[in-house]
Structures are given as structure tokens and as C-alpha cells.
Amino acid sequence: MSTLKSDLNLASPDDIYNLIVDAHKSLSREQSEKLNAALVLLLANHVGDEAVIRAAVAAARKSLSA
């Protein structure tokens, strides 16, 4: 079992950010929400570790109240 990596783990984080932002361009709100859901599920499947996914969900929810 792995643990959630919360330290920067991307070689080009700005490029990844821009990729995600650009993927939403010209989409309706509903399409954008569907894209987010599909991306989250694809990445969760790639991670494949339920404990890590649970930790990521908890960290994401906690960040909303910060």
C-alpha cells in the first residue's frame, strides 16, 4: 500500500495546469463538470490504490475549508 504524495511530483506543473485549463475552453458548465468527473475517475483507476484515493479525497475536501 502506498501513501498519498502531496509534495510536488510533476516535472512541468505549469504545463499540466495549462493542459487542464485548456481542456475546459469552450465547454459548457455541464461539459466541464463531466470532463472533471471523467478525469478524476481515469486518474483514480490509474492510481488503483483505494487508501491513496481515500486520502486524496479527504485532502481535497479539507482544502475547501482552508
Distance from C-alpha of 52 to C-alpha of 62, rounded to nearest angstrom: 15
pLDDT tens, residue order, the chain (66 aa): 689 999 999 999 999 999 999 999 999 999 999 999 999 999 999 999 999 999 999 999 999 997
User: Would you state the pLDDT for residue 66?
Assistant: 72
Distance from C-alpha of 30 to C-alpha of 62, rounded to nearest angstrom: 25
SS3 11: coil
What's the predicted TM-score (pTM) here?
0.86
